[in-house]
Structure 1
Amino acid sequence: MSVVDSGFFLIPLLAVLAPILGRMLGRWVRIPIVVFELVLGIVFGPSILGLIEPSELFSQLSNLGLAMLFFMAGSEINFGAIAGRPIRRASLGWLISLAAGVAAGFLLQPGEAAVVIGVALCSTALGTLMPILRDAKELGTPFGQAVTAVGAVGEFGPLVAISLFLGARNLELSTLVLAAFILVAGGSIWLAMRAPHGRLHRFVNATLHTSGQVAVRIVFLILGALVVLSIWMDLDMLLGAFTAGIVWQLIMRNANHEDREAVESKVEAVAFGFLVPVFFIYTGVTFDLDALVSDWRVMVMVPILLVLLLIVRGLPSTLALPVGSSRKDRMAMLLLGSTGLPIIVAVTAIGVDEGLISSGMASALVGAGMLSVLLFPLIGMSLHGDREVVTSPAYDPLVPPR
């Protein structure tokens, strides 16, 4: 049996096992499903059992899953709710995080590697936090809006930094190209806001339960168009994916509530039932466990980087909190703002491919990101006072869609 053939069976098998294990262990402690997906990928990958090997096919599916994760993050943001003070303070906090992250990077590995480390440390996993806030019914609260603002800036800001500082062009040309992309993206968002969508919504409604499935096809058209545009402009593809989610959200904002929920459930099924699990499992498959465990200095870096996430990203995130927030809410924001993984995976992959950081440093950063997803949301939401929150970082397939 070839590598691809075994992957066709084993990756779906692991995708099913992950939520089952999460539900079983959830009786004692709630562990995000993504942690099981990553660990299962490591166990079945070359690092341990060697039953799944990296392949071009699953690499491309993984990239599509990562793009879909950022699409979903963009589509979840309610910009009207976070406009004003939350987004301004979150943006200020992120700029402080970026400066502190690069400074910390220079202490760890001077040179261009410091930029890779700094961008990784200043990220926040909005795709991890949104379902947690939604399940806890916190999205509409001042605290939830502050966390959403921090997460939005913590995903969009690093994508801009990657495009500016980690591309092949000089900074001036990268800035011009990024400005051109922003103009095109802004035009797309303007059209999504202004253009009448009544006929489109009726067409979508008419195909909800047919083989046409126009809504899902339009999602992939918008996603593909903006991802290809960002790649063509030599920007990070996730910038296009995130923007595509915003555009789709605006297109569907005035649709009938029942139709919108039906469409969202279908898109979530494609994203969280197929593509996103492939991304996280394949990330585990390609995780360089040997580089992490073979050198004690690399292993020591994991807790150091975990603490740096709290200092570099967590502390500045508290600036976005509403006035008069309690000490527990500040601690909760510090932890939630420090939760990061997808951007860390993306930026370390770029760093290794470009020869800017070692495989060991990449593994240590991803390991710290995995621990942040495992620990920080659970502790943070407990401090905030919600005891019933489901701490899945992106989804829980055993919970019916909203």
Structure 2
Amino acid sequence: MDGLRFELFVIALVAAVAPLLAEWPTRFRMPIVAVEMLLGILIGPHLLGLASPDGLVGMLGELGLTFLLFMVGLEINLGEMRGRPLSLAVGGWFLSFGIAMVCMFVVHAIGLIKAPPLMAAVALTTTALGILVPILRDEGTLDTEFGKLLVPAAAMGEFGPLVVISLLLIPTHSTVLHSLFIVGFVIVALMAAFLAVHVRSSKLIQAFAHTMQSSGQLPVRIAIMLQALLVALAAKFALNVVFGAFAAGMVAGLATRGEGGAMLRHKLDAVGYGFLIPIFFIVEGMRFDVSALWGSPLVPVQVIALLGLLVFVRGAPVFLYGRLLPQADRLPFAFYTATGLPLIVIVTEIGVSSGLMANDRAAVLLSAGMISVFLFPMLAERARMRARGGSS
């Protein structure tokens, strides 16, 4: 028990130090999530050994992941995603998936990356929306025209791979039965969304509001209950819990849209970004085995090749946007959408647990995903600054 208390203290210390390090030095500023993961690697069992991502610590990390996807769903404004931005995002993801399948069959055939082509292609088409949203918020980019095009594209980088994972990569039921489970879950989520919209327009939300200033905090508790409910239903329907957390966030977002829900959003921000979400990124860093980067002479080449493929696969759709996306924003757009990690973790876990992917292959994919989180948002921000004549 004393060891657990010490580990929790170390994680809390890292979470408190990370925002300070993210602000300094300004010339080489990294996203706070990248700092949290780097510090997680440092304190993890593969380096200093001050904490282990098992037991209660691992459980807190999983709660952090579900709350992260919940907060991402909360941020998405479906009203702003309708029309051209959404259709471009959907078409762009299918283009990315087609290119990824061709690329992975080729690199698999020549022996450069020995991973199941479908799994690797799904990993290449992911976008870490949960990582990008806090970065874009901190940069003030989320509500710009660039952000309004980027968020739907990144959201499809979560939705598309989740559907493929649920239908093709989780062999718990037949495809037909699994499809029925997905339909059933979607029906439940739509019913919850319908109720959320009507609650927003009723006097019920006002009746709950007075508890926000007391120890009751009823709206916060209801939001967390909704998240737990849809996560449990997703697991019951043999879907990934990420599905449930994301859907819960979108439903809560419908209920709290507008000024009336501002206080609730601030409180959920405090719970998520002040507590659970940093633990997820720190724990993910702790799980990363840095020795995988030099386990074989071919590994650095494979990681570099995967990083290039991430940018190529997720960057190809920028040409669909035409005049909506200025020339100067296309490279940053490609870097942002190529940032992926949480779903890469899920894909590799499924591959390893099912025996379809060897541990060393999974480590290569994870290495590329980890480096993309460290590198691509910084490159995107610097590219946008240079394009606008800012200092680099």
Quick check: TM above 0.5?
yes
Aligned to 2:245: 241
Give structure 2 stretches of 5+ with no counterpart: none
AA paired with 2:208?
V
Deviation sequence 1:131-156 (CA, Å, 0-9, x none): 34444444444322110110111111
Match of 1:176 among 152, 155, 180: 180
Aligned to 2:119: 116
Worse overlay, 112-121 or 37-46 = 112-121
Q: Determine if contact 1:193/1:251 at 8 Å carries over to the other structure.
A: yes
Aligned to 1:313: 314
Aligned to 1:267: 268
Shift of 1:283: 1.0
1:318/1:249 CA distance change after superposition, 3 Å = farther
Aligned to 1:393: none
> Is 1:58–2:57 an aligned residue pair?
yes
Aligned to 1:74: 73
* C-alpha distance in structure 1 between counterparts of 2:87 and 2:134, whole Å: 23
Deviation sequence 1:296-330 (CA, Å, 0-9, x none): 222322111110101111212542x3635332122
Aligned to 1:278: 279
Alignment of 1:361-400 (within 5 A): 361-385=361-385
* C-alpha distance in structure 2 between counterparts of 1:290 and 1:77, whole Å: 38
* C-alpha distance in structure 2 between counterparts of 1:129 and 1:105, whole Å: 25
Shift of 1:112: 7.6
1:131/1:282 CA distance change after superposition, 3 Å = closer
Aligned to 2:327: 327
* C-alpha distance in structure 2 between counterparts of 1:203 and 1:293, whole Å: 59
Aligned to 1:106: 105
Q: Determine if contact 1:230/1:237 at 8 Å carries over to the other structure.
A: yes
Alignment of 1:10-49 (within 5 A): 10-25=10-25, 27-49=26-48
Q: Determine if contact 2:230/2:247 at 8 Å carries over to the other structure.
A: yes
Identity %: 40
* C-alpha distance in structure 2 between counterparts of 1:135 and 1:388, whole Å: 20
* C-alpha distance in structure 1 between counterparts of 2:350 and 2:46, whole Å: 21
AA paired with 1:310?
V
Worse overlay, 213-222 or 369-378 = 369-378
Aligned to 2:345: 345
Q: Determine if contact 1:288/1:359 at 8 Å carries over to the other structure.
A: no
* C-alpha distance in structure 2 between counterparts of 1:287 and 1:114, whole Å: 23
**Count of matched residue pairs:** 384
Q: SS state of the match for residue 323, structure 1?
A: helix
1:331/1:113 CA distance change after superposition, 3 Å = same
Q: Determine if contact 1:335/1:377 at 8 Å carries over to the other structure.
A: yes
AA paired with 1:160?
V
1:53/1:131 CA distance change after superposition, 3 Å = closer
Q: SS state of the match for residue 35, structure 1?
A: helix
Deviation sequence 1:272-306 (CA, Å, 0-9, x none): 11111111111111112233322222232211111
Alignment of 1:104-183 (within 5 A): 104-109=103-108, 113-168=116-171, 169-183=173-187
Deviation sequence 1:8-40 (CA, Å, 0-9, x none): 211111111222221223x22110111122122
1:149/1:322 CA distance change after superposition, 3 Å = farther
Shift of 1:230: 0.4
Q: Which is richer in helix?
A: 2
Q: Determine if contact 1:126/1:154 at 8 Å carries over to the other structure.
A: yes
* C-alpha distance in structure 2 between counterparts of 1:388 and 1:222, whole Å: 46
Q: Determine if contact 1:150/1:317 at 8 Å carries over to the other structure.
A: no
Worse overlay, 63-72 or 361-370 = 361-370
* C-alpha distance in structure 2 between counterparts of 1:288 and 1:132, whole Å: 25
> Is 1:253–2:275 an aligned residue pair?
no
1:196/1:13 CA distance change after superposition, 3 Å = closer
Q: Determine if contact 1:289/1:363 at 8 Å carries over to the other structure.
A: no
Q: Determine if contact 1:123/1:158 at 8 Å carries over to the other structure.
A: yes
Q: Determine if contact 1:292/1:360 at 8 Å carries over to the other structure.
A: no
AA paired with 1:231?
A
Aligned to 1:209: 213
Shift of 1:7: 1.6
Shift of 1:198: 3.6
Q: Determine if contact 1:94/1:317 at 8 Å carries over to the other structure.
A: no
AA paired with 1:181?
F
TM normalised by structure 1 equals 0.88
1:384/1:171 CA distance change after superposition, 3 Å = same
